[in-house]
Amino acid sequence: MQKYTTPDLPYAHDALEPYIDQTTMEIHHGKHHVGYTTKLNTAVESHPELFSKTPEELLADLDNLPEDIRLAVRNNGGGHVHHNFFWEIMRPAQENNVAIGNLAKAIDETFGSFAKFKEELTQAALTVFGSGWAWLLIEDNKLKITKTANQDSPYSLGQSPVLCIDVWEHAYYLKYKNVRPDYIENFWQIINWDKTEELYNK
Ligand code: MN
């Protein structure tokens, strides 16, 4: 039985400075993410045959999970999977950081322009009430912007994420306090568009 593990960050904790500070990354990854993974493992341990599935597969089939762990998997499995994803779609800041390749084309076709897309995803992230996420994802072969509450997952809705913004306060509060708009604006500097292009092409 192979338990789920929290992957290392694909860069140093200070690599996203000054947009996301080192202390936030240390706590977000080392405490919050590890906490979700630990609680997911604790839940699945009571039905260890489920460790043969990926955590994304668990989220995709919540209705068929044993009832006693369904909510724990929804919350902590979501937290585990979403953070795995979130670290991957960020990178150290680059000049002129915009979408590339097929994703760039699809963004233009779907939203009219990159600027319009940026505006729509920003608006989605700003208007998540309480804790949650804003997503760029694929559903029925189309690009879409969505929001989810808490750790509810696009994987439970048959959607394939391409990009996300964590708007839980733990993602930004130490540096930005209550000013979520500044965190979201700065997030555009550190999106890993190479990774999103790879995800889109899959
Ligand atoms: Mn988070």
Q: Are residues 62 and 153 in the same domain?
A: no
Give the environment of ion ligand 1: residues with CB less than 5 A: 166, 168, 171
Ligand 1 mean position, distance from CA 46 (Å): 26
Ligand 1 mean position, distance from CA 189 (Å): 18
Q: Are residues 131 and 73 in the same domain?
A: no
Q: Does residue 117 sit within a domain? A: yes
Residue type, 61: D
Q: Are residues 105 and 58 in the same domain?
A: no
Ligand 1 mean position, distance from CA 33 (Å): 7
Of 94, 110, 122, 67, whose CA–CA distance to 193 is shortest? 94
Q: Are residues 117 and 146 in the same domain?
A: yes
Cα separation, 179 vs 95, whole angstroms: 24
Ligand 1 mean position, distance from CA 82 (Å): 8
Q: Does residue 148 sit within a domain? A: yes
Q: Are residues 136 and 83 in the same domain?
A: no
Cα separation, 193 vs 99, whole angstroms: 5
Question: Into how many domains does the chain fold?
Answer: 2
Q: Which of 88, 122, 140 is the endpoint of a domain? A: 88
Q: Are residues 110 and 175 in the same domain?
A: yes
Q: Which of 66, 88, 110 is the endpoint of a domain? A: 88
Confidence of residue 38 (pLDDT cuts 50, 70, 90): very high
Label each residue of 77-139 as H, E or C.
HHHHHHHHHHHHCECCCCCCCCCCHHHHHHHHHHHCCHHHHHHHHHHHHHCCCCCEEEEEEEE
Confidence of residue 90 (pLDDT cuts 50, 70, 90): very high
Give yes or no for a contact between 59 and 76, defined as CB atoms under 8 angstroms apart: no
Per-residue pLDDT reduced to its tens digit, 121-132: 999 999 999 999
Q: Does residue 151 sit within a domain? A: yes
Q: Are residues 105 and 181 in the same domain?
A: yes
Ligand 1 mean position, distance from CA 31 (Å): 10
Q: Does residue 2 sit within a domain? A: no
Give yes or no for a contact between 98 and 61, defined as CB atoms under 8 angstroms apart: no
Task: Tell whether the model's pLDDT for residue 29 goes beyond 80.
Answer: yes
Q: Are residues 107 and 174 in the same domain?
A: yes
Ligand 1 mean position, distance from CA 26 (Å): 12
pTM of the full predicted structure? 0.97
Share of the chain above pLDDT 90, in %: 100
Q: Which of 46, 64, 88 is the endpoint of a domain? A: 88
Question: What does residue 190 show for φ and ψ, rounded to 5 degrees?
Answer: -120, 20
Task: Tell whether the model's pLDDT for residue 189 goes beyond 80.
Answer: yes
Q: Does residue 15 sit within a domain? A: no
Instruction: Tell me which residue range forms the domain holding 68.
Output: 22-88
Q: Are residues 80 and 126 in the same domain?
A: no
Ligand 1 mean position, distance from CA 29 (Å): 8
Q: Are residues 117 and 38 in the same domain?
A: no
Q: Does residue 149 sit within a domain? A: yes
